Structure 1
Amino acid sequence: MMHVAAGVLVDGAGRILIAQRPPGKHLAGLWEFPGGKLEPGEDTAAALERELDEELGIAVDPLSFEPLIRIPWSYGERAMCLDALVVRAWSGEPAALDAAAIAWRDPRDIDPAMLAPADRPILAALRLPEHYPITPADLSVDTAITHVRVALARGERLIQWRLPSMPLTQARAGAALLLPDLHRFGASMLLNRDIEGARDLGLGVHLSAAQLRELDTRPLPLSQWVAASCHDAEELALASRLGCDFATLSPVMTTASHPDAEPLGWPRFAKLVEAASLPVFALGGVGPGDAAVARMHAGQGVAGIRGFGAMASRTGFAPSLR
C-alpha cells in the first residue's frame, strides 16, 4: 500500500488551500490537498515538509503539524493510505509549482464533487464539528423543536433529528419548522432514516445499518450530508462504499439503553476507525466531555443523546477544534 501525506493549509481567515491535478496525471483536473507519497525511510511529517517545498515552494515546521484524519483508499488496484495533517504556519508564498492551479477556499464553499474521491473525507473532517447530538426519542415534536433551538443557541452545529415514536409525516413537519433556525446559525441537521424527507427539505439523512445493506448508491447528492450507524468493520466499509460522509460507531462504552451490548472500548474503537475511510463519531456511553478522548483515538468527536441537552459546544469547522 502506498503511503501518502497531505497538507491542509489553513490561513488566518480560515480558508484552505487546494491544488488542481495537472493534465496527464491520474485524476487530472480534479482538486486535492497538496502532498505526496513517502520515500523509503521517511515518516509522514518529513515527507509532507519535503512535498510542500517541492509542490508549493514553502517552508514548514513539521513539529507544528496537527493530525486530522487517516484515509485508507483504493483506486482500482492502486491502494493507498492518506494521512492528512493541518498546517497553520509556513514561510514563503504558496505557488503552483507542480499543479495546474492552486486556490484558497472557505471549506464550506467547496463542492466535494470537484475533489479527488480520496480527498472528500478530508473535506468532511474539516467541516464536521466535534459534537453530534441526537434528539431524545421520547420527546414530542414541539419539545424536540425547543431542544434543537436550545442546542443551536448554545453552539451545536450538527444535529440528528430522531423521533422514532412519531408518525413520519409529523416528524418531518417538525423538521421543516426548524429550517429558518438552521439557516440562521449555519447549522446542519440529519433526519434519522428518512431519505425522502431529507431530499424534500434539503437536509441530510442518517441511515440505519439495515439501510446500508439495502442501498446500492448514495441516496442524496454530495451537497447534503449522508451518515450511517455502524457497529463493526463490515458496516464501516459499507458506509464508505455507499459514499457516506461520516458514521457513528457504537457502543464505545456500556450504555443504560443497551446494557447487554458488549462495548468496544477505546482501543478497539481506534483500531476500527483507523481502518475506516470516513470520519467517525464515538457513540454509546460517551458525553461531550469525551470529545478530546475520541480524537486521541482517531475519532472525529462524540455523538449521543444523554448529556448533550444542557451543554455548550464550541463553534467553527474542525481545524479550529482539533
Structure 2
Amino acid sequence: MFKPTIHVAIALLFHQNKVLVGWREAKQHQGNKHEFPGGKVEAGESPVAACRREVFEEVGIGLQHWHAFDVICHEYDDVIVNLHIFHAAVPTALLKDIQVPWAWFSRSQLLDLNFPQANRAILQRLVWPKAIKISEDLSLLSSLPKEKLLYWRVEPTAEQKMELIQYCVEQLGQVIINLELWKQLNPMQQQAVAAIHLKQSQLMQLQKGDLKVGLRYIAACHDIVSAQHAQQIGCEAILLSPVLPTATHTDATALGWEKFQQITELVDIPVFALGGLTQDDLAVAEQHHAYGIAGVRFI
C-alpha cells in the first residue's frame, strides 16, 4: 500500500534544564498527545527555516541560532514521517512572550508524558541519568543498572579499543568514551555509544557545525568560557569541575558551590557537578542548578 511521505521540522527548546512541551488536539494526526513545537516543511523551504517559522507562529518567539539534533524516519499505518529535529536555548528575556498552552517540563518529567511513538528516540537522548560513574574499569559495565551511564576514562590505545568492542551494542549504549577512542570504532559502534566525551582542549578547537548530527556530546569544562562554548557548538551536556577539592587533582583550584552556580545559571543544557562529591551531594548539587553529579570514587 502506498504511503505518503511528509517532512516535519521539530524544535527542542531548552531553558535551565527544562524543555518546552505542548498538547496536540484530538483533530490532529496522532492527536491527544504531548508534542514539541514544529510542523510540516513547506515546498521550497529548508527544514531549519520551517523550524524557525513554526516556533515563531506557534510559540511566539523568534530564535536565529539552531543546532541540528537528528533526523528520524518513522512509519505509521497511514503515513511515513521524516522528523528533522533542531534544538536551541531560549533566553530569559523571551520567556514572557511564550504563548499558552506551551509549558516547561523537567527532562525527567518528559518520560511520563504521552508523546507520539516517533518521539521515543528524542526522549531517550534528552533524559540523562542523575549520576555518571567515571572509571578506568570497563568491567563495571556488566553490573551497571540499565538507567546508568559509565564514562570510561582511558587513553585511546589499540588495546583499549579491543577491550571495548568485546561488548554488545546494547552495552555500548551505557558507555561514554572520549572523542579519540570513538574515532577508532566502526560506524555501528560509533552510533551505539551513549555519548562522546570532549576534553576542554578538544572542545575549544571545535566550532558550530563540527559536531556530527545524531550523536550525543558531553564536554569537560572548568570555567564559564568553556561552558558557554559547549552550548554554542551544540553539546548536549557538560561535566563542570572541580567543584570541591579532590585527592586526585590536588593542584586544581576548586570552584566551590557559589562559583559553580554562577556558571550553571548561564547555560541551558544539563550540567553535571564533578570533583570531590559523593552520592549524598546530589541534592546540594541540584540546589545549585546542577542536573546531576559525576565521580570516580564515591559514585
Q: TM-score, normalised by structure 2?
A: 0.63
Q: Which residue of 1 aligns with 2:183?
A: 196
Aligned amino acid, residue 179 of structure 1: C
CA distance in 2, matches of 1:258, 1:247: 19
1:190 alignment partner, SS class: strand
1:18 aligns with 2:67: no
Question: Structure 1 pair 270/124, CA: closer, same or farther in 2 (3 Å)?
Answer: farther
Q: Which residue of 2 aligns with 1:135?
A: 135
Pairing partner for 2:278 from 281, 287, 304 = 287
CA distance in 1, matches of 2:272, 2:34: 23
Matches within 5 A, 1:1-322: 7-8=20-21, 16-21=34-39, 28-30=49-51, 35-36=59-60, 51-52=100-101, 67=106, 104-105=116-117, 107-110=119-122, 126-136=126-136, 144-151=137-144, 154-164=145-155, 168-182=157-171, 187-194=173-180, 195-197=182-184, 200=187, 201-202=189-190, 203=193, 204-216=195-207, 220-308=211-299
Aligned amino acid, residue 234 of structure 2: G
Q: Is the 8 A contact 1:10 1:86 kept in 2?
A: no
CA distance in 1, matches of 2:139, 2:152: 12
Q: Is the 8 A contact 2:151 2:176 kept in 1?
A: yes
Q: Percent identity?
A: 25
**CA shift at 1:255, angstroms?**
0.8
Question: Structure 1 pair 161/6, CA: closer, same or farther in 2 (3 Å)?
Answer: closer
Q: Is the 8 A contact 1:125 1:279 kept in 2?
A: no
CA distance in 1, matches of 2:55, 2:116: 12
1:215 alignment partner, SS class: coil
**CA shift at 1:155, angstroms?**
3.9
1:254 alignment partner, SS class: coil
CA distance in 2, matches of 1:293, 1:284: 13
**CA shift at 1:67, angstroms?**
4.8
Instruction: Summarize deviations over 1:154-199 as a string: whole Å, max 9, x none.
Output: 34432212123xx61111121212234426xxx3322124241356
CA distance in 2, matches of 1:170, 1:198: 12
2:184 alignment partner, SS class: helix
CA distance in 1, matches of 2:222, 2:21: 30
Q: Which residue of 2 aligns with 1:78?
A: none
Gapped regions of structure 2 (runs ≥ 5): 1-13, 25-32, 62-92
**CA shift at 1:207, angstroms?**
0.9
Q: Is the 8 A contact 1:134 1:303 kept in 2?
A: yes
Q: Is the 8 A contact 1:207 1:228 kept in 2?
A: yes
Q: Is the 8 A contact 2:21 2:105 kept in 1?
A: no
Question: Structure 1 pair 17/135, CA: closer, same or farther in 2 (3 Å)?
Answer: same
Question: Structure 1 pair 198/35, CA: closer, same or farther in 2 (3 Å)?
Answer: farther
CA RMSD of aligned residues (A): 4.2
Q: Is the 8 A contact 1:135 1:148 kept in 2?
A: no
CA distance in 2, matches of 1:43, 1:216: 26
CA distance in 2, matches of 1:193, 1:208: 8
Q: Is the 8 A contact 2:19 2:107 kept in 1?
A: no
Aligned residues: 235
Question: Structure 1 pair 19/243, CA: closer, same or farther in 2 (3 Å)?
Answer: closer
1:197 alignment partner, SS class: coil
Question: Structure 1 pair 134/88, CA: closer, same or farther in 2 (3 Å)?
Answer: closer
2:225 alignment partner, SS class: helix
Q: Is the 8 A contact 1:125 1:300 kept in 2?
A: no
**CA shift at 1:233, angstroms?**
0.7
